[in-house]
Chains A and B, each alone.
Chain A
Amino acid sequence: MGSDIGRAVKQPATESDGRAAAEAAARRSYGKLVAILASRSGDVAAAEDALADAFAAALEQWPVSGVPANPEGWLVAVAQRRTVDAIRRRRTSAEGAAHLQLIAAEIEASSMEDDLPDERLRLMFACAHPAIEPSIRAPLILQTILGFDAAVIASAFLVSPATMGQRLVRAKNRIREAGIPFRIPERDALDERLDAVLEAIYAAFAEGWADPTGAESRRRNLATEGIWLGRLTASLMPDEPETLGLLALMLFAEARRAARRDSNGDYVPLAEQDTKVWDSGLIDEAEGLLRRAGVMGKIGRYQLEAAVQSAHVARRLTGETDWQAIARFYEALSRMTQSPVVAINHAVALAHAGDTGAGLALLGTLADDKRLLTYQPYWAARAELLTLAQKPLEAHEAYGMAIGLETDPAIRKFLQSRRARLRN
């Protein structure tokens, strides 16, 4: 067997080289390889299983026999053989067959082109298909493209690991059984479907961004991975302005990460952040993306949200926040999305732009939405606006709700200090 494999070897490898190469390939190529295997078979779970087997085989063989010239090609070939094997093993018990097939895979791998097709976008469109429940789309993309395990995803999205595991399995079964295509949709359906993909990526980022100090490495990684997915999507679909808009939005937010806490670890609201702490490299990159998206002449939700961010960070140059502009962007967003979350932000912007009454009236129109009863930002916004309107008693009550619903101790402390100020 040694001589057969010898042909595919790039260099004589030591055992640690082989192990390191297998681990590096696993990290770098996981999503790419799952996407290739799944888009051929239509079965995500089987693709993951086969790939896990292939990585196990690589860890076993590469340290001994050397790293193949095309590691990804080797892994895909072995994973595909494993899938065939698994079916065959159920029918015959020919022990030697697997061994022979592995050798065949080596030869196939060495003859494969260096560049494997990038099917990750197709996999993302399958994961964010309308037939898949919206709340599981982001976790599914994190698992299939990035290889996150269910427990890590569950902890980030605040559900039990068992529940998350079941939902992921169910979603993958659905992709297989319903025959969800691994395809980039046609033009007429593209906007809506792309939005689902971008929403899933943004959900992953937002979960990570909720941990500003990065104390929880799992969540901090989620923000980094969200940006990574955003970069991937923007590079695979560079002519879609919303892919650029989403990446710009995430970079603007990431640029302000360090400024969200002061040296004591206390929460600093956006309007009071020290602009010198913002990452100007990321901001410049985001501005560039937003300009590129702007000339494509198709406005969308993410471009508008990025524009809001852009207006906020302009303070580093002008020294003040243009709340009028921000209110206009939120108004446009409101018309586009009808989202209560956007309406809350719109209300806050209106109040800061000088029209507290309009802001409170807008919040008032949301009061019937029962979901907002347990939505912290609604109560925090209400408290802030009632304070501005000099209604301390009602503000006090709203702060109480916001404090009770908050999970971050630094923000809780900030809200408590704001509430304490009402007494003076």
Chain B
Amino acid sequence: MRYMLFIHLDESQMPKSPADKGYEMLAAYGAYNEALKKAGIYLAGDRLTPSATTTQVRIADGKTSVLDGPYAETREQIGGYYIIEAEDLDSAIAWAARCPGANHGTIEVRLIWEATSVAQ
């Protein structure tokens, strides 16, 4: 089953970390990526640029509105994501717990809706 792991982070907390901590975290993500790949469950994953660069698009009353930046009221932003092939939810949770982001943010684990499961 494919699971998506959303990495929710409080961006305002990030720059305050000491410079070496950033490096440590980066290396930890590198090791995590390798572990996912060696376990044969890695499908995709990326780090996202800061949420200040985000753009919100929606259509209401036939009018398209385009807004800059994230929703102001949400403190935590999505900093990156992984898509993994996991046996079940428990296995996906175990991998989410190993994600370095789990130590200072929240990892949201969602089962991906497979087209085949709709057909059935």
Other-chain residue from A160, A373, A399, A412 in contact with B38 (beta carbon distance below 8 A) = A373
Q: Is the CB of B94 within 8 A of A158?
A: yes
Chain A residues near B31 (CB-CB < 8 A): 399-404, 416
Per the bound structure, the CA–CA distance linking A374 and B98 in Å amounts to: 11
Q: Is B33 an interface residue (CB 8 A)?
A: yes
Chain B residues near A404 (CB-CB < 8 A): 28, 31-36, 98
Chain A residues near B93 (CB-CB < 8 A): 158-160
Q: Is B90 an interface residue (CB 8 A)?
A: yes
Chain A residues near B35 (CB-CB < 8 A): 374, 400-401, 403-405
Q: Is B102 an interface residue (CB 8 A)?
A: yes
Q: Is B1 an interface residue (CB 8 A)?
A: no
Q: Is the CB of A416 within 8 A of B28?
A: yes
Per the bound structure, the CA–CA distance linking A404 and B36 in Å amounts to: 8
Per the bound structure, the CA–CA distance linking A413 and B27 in Å amounts to: 10
Complex interface residues of chain B between 25 and 75 (CB less than 8 A to chain A): 27-28, 30-36, 38-39
Per the bound structure, the CA–CA distance linking A349 and B16 in Å amounts to: 42
- On chain A, which size bracket covers the interface? 10 to 19
Q: Is B114 an interface residue (CB 8 A)?
A: no
B29 to chain A: closest residue by CB: A404
Q: Is the CB of A403 within 8 A of B90?
A: no
Chain B residues near A400 (CB-CB < 8 A): 30-31, 34-35
Complex interface residues of chain B between 12 and 34 (CB less than 8 A to chain A): 24, 27-28, 30-34
Q: A407-B102, A409-B100, A416-B27 are in contact. Are A160 and B34 (CB under 8 A)?
A: no
- On chain B, which size bracket covers the interface? 20 to 34
Q: Give me the interface of B with A, judged by CB distance under 8 Å.
A: 24, 27-28, 30-36, 38-39, 89-90, 93-94, 97-98, 100, 102-103
A-B pairs with CB below 8 Å: how many? Answer: 57
Chain B residues near A406 (CB-CB < 8 A): 98
Chain A residues near B36 (CB-CB < 8 A): 404
A162 to chain B: closest residue by CB: B89
CB distance from B19 to the nearest CB of A (A): 15
Q: Is A163 an interface residue (CB 8 A)?
A: yes
B99 to chain A: closest residue by CB: A407
For the complex of A and B, list the 8 residue pairs with the smallest distance between their C-beta atoms, beginning with the closest.
A404-B35, A403-B31, A404-B31, A404-B32, A409-B103, A407-B97, A400-B31, A159-B90
B40 to chain A: closest residue by CB: A373
Per the bound structure, the CA–CA distance linking A403 and B38 in Å amounts to: 13
Per the bound structure, the CA–CA distance linking A30 and B109 in Å amounts to: 35
Per-position 1/0 for A368-412, Cβ under 8 A of B: 000001100000000000000000000000011111111101001
Per the bound structure, the CA–CA distance linking A200 and B100 in Å amounts to: 29
B39 to chain A: closest residue by CB: A374
Instruction: List 14 additional contacts besides A158-B93, A373-B39, A407-B103; criterion CB under 8 Å.
Output: A158-B94, A159-B89, A159-B93, A160-B90, A160-B93, A163-B90, A400-B35, A402-B31, A403-B28, A404-B32, A407-B98, A412-B100, A413-B24, A416-B27
